[in-house]
């Protein structure tokens, strides 16, 4: 029997995101006057019930998943799913609390706008679609849903499948990397092109903006990773893997108020770390004897998470690159995506086996030093004891 924090939702899942709390707690369609009238017209019992329901809805966290069976007659629908995670009970909802079908188009990759304006999906076999939040879908379990938008994504219509999508942190730029190796960066929401590299890689597998939004890292199916200067729209540097393994995932992370680093995972199970000032590699750590299929970094920068083709999930401390937890066979299939919650307290993972999982993050205290001190004191005591015995015998 599966634990309550692991659920299967009937479709292979390829991407996910945490829904911002402000979207759940607010309903822009209800004006202050409407709310005031409702308060005056509702009896005390009704008000109490409404407040209880609101607290219930606001509690916990909501996630959106994208996936499906693709084209053809597999019988597996293509859809966007919204699910609820309850922190107190460490459990995911048994069924999606919201669902939007996408007909014959499979939502493969997804990027949620950081301000909560909506989300973009790379649809298989081609093109991208924008989806708006539907605040009119008020139910017992959720106060919003998703709806197809009429927004035209100029520059991403009728293009090859986009394998990577990312907004910058303030939501003013959108990056898209295609199966054909084309890397595009647009101003958002005007879709004015900033960067257009037709052969950035043989195929663009992953990309990520730096925390200050000045840089963009991209990597392909083979060859070096590339770092782009967004302000000049030019290539800044290329980064090669001396391990000779192909890169698989990349993430920037802020390590303190001034410095940030770049993590890149490879198919050999290693995570490589670069200084973003000198572009010198400062660390390389073998995490697992398997490829890394998914990588993410917590918002507070304390943890990295890796997923593998075997379904394992590993969390790593960024401070010393030591493994914090390993969950073997967390999923039965390849881990396709990972995402830390905004407060860095939970890690969501999804897989092609139709499963989603949320793992609560607990920071392990470093008791190694105190253990060595205790062992040293013990050995010292034993040595003193034997010295006393020898003195008595003499």
Q: What is the pLDDT of residue 29?
A: 47
Residues of the chain with pLDDT under 50: 28-40, 42, 45-59, 367-370
Q: What is the pLDDT of residue 22?
A: 84
Q: What is the pLDDT of residue 391?
A: 63
Q: What is the pLDDT of residue 381?
A: 74
The CA R_g of the chain, rounded to the nearest whole Å, is 24
Q: What is the pLDDT of residue 136?
A: 80
**111 Cβ contact partners less than 8 Å away, ≥ 6 residues apart:** 17, 119, 120, 165, 166, 167, 174
Q: How many whole angstroms separate alpha carbon 91 and alpha carbon 204?
A: 35
Length of the chain: 394
N-terminal to C-terminal alpha carbon distance within the chain? 68
Residue 14 · residue 356 · CB < 8 Å: no
């Amino acid at each position: 029997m599966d634990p309550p924090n692991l659920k299967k939702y009937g479709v292979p899942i390829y991407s996910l995101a945490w829904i911002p709390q402000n979207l759940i707690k607010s309903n822009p369609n209800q004006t202050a006057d409407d709310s005031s009238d409702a308060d005056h017209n509702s009896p005390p019992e009704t008000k109490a019930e409404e407040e209880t329901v609101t607290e219930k809805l606001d509690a916990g966290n909501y996630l959106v998943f994208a996936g499906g069976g693709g084209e053809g007659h597999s019988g597996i629908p293509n859809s966007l799913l919204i699910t609820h995670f309850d922190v107190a009970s460490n459990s995911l909802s048994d069924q999606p609390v919201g669902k939007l079908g996408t007909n014959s188009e499979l939502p493969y990759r997804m990027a949620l706008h950081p301000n909560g304006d909506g989300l973009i999906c790379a649809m298989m076999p081609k093109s991208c679609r924008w989806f708006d939040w539907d605040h009119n879908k008020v139910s017992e379990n959720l106060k919003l849903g998703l709806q197809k938008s009429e927004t035209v994504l100029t520059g991403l219509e009728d293009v090859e499948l986009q394998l990577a999508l990312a907004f910058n942190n303030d939501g003013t730029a959108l990056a898209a990397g295609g199966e054909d190796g084309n890397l595009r960066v647009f101003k958002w929401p005007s879709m004015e092109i900033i960067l257009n590299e037709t052969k950035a890689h043989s195929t663009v597998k992953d990309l990520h903006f730096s925390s200050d939004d000045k840089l963009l890292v991209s990597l392909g199916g083979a060859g070096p990773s590339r770092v782009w200067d967004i302000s000049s729209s030019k290539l800044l540097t290329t980064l090669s893997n001396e391990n000779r393994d192909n890169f698989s995932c990349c993430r920037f992370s802020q390590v303190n108020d001034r410095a940030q680093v770049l993590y890149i995972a490879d198919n050999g199970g290693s995570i490589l770390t670069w200084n973003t000032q000198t572009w010198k590699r400062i660390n390389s750590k073998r995490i697992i004897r398997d490829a890394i299929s998914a990588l993410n970094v917590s918002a507070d920068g304390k943890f990295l998470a890796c997923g593998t083709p075997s379904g394992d999930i590993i969390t790593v401390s960024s401070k010393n690159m030591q493994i914090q937890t390993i969950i073997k066979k967390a999923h039965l299939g390849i881990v396709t995506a990972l995402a830390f919650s905004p407060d860095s307290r939970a890690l969501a993972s999804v897989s092609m086996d139709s499963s989603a999982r949320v793992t609560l993050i607990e920071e392990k205290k470093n008791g190694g030093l105190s253990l060595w001190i205790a062992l040293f004191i013990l050995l010292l005591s034993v040595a003193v004891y034997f010295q006393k015995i020898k003195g008595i015998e003499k």
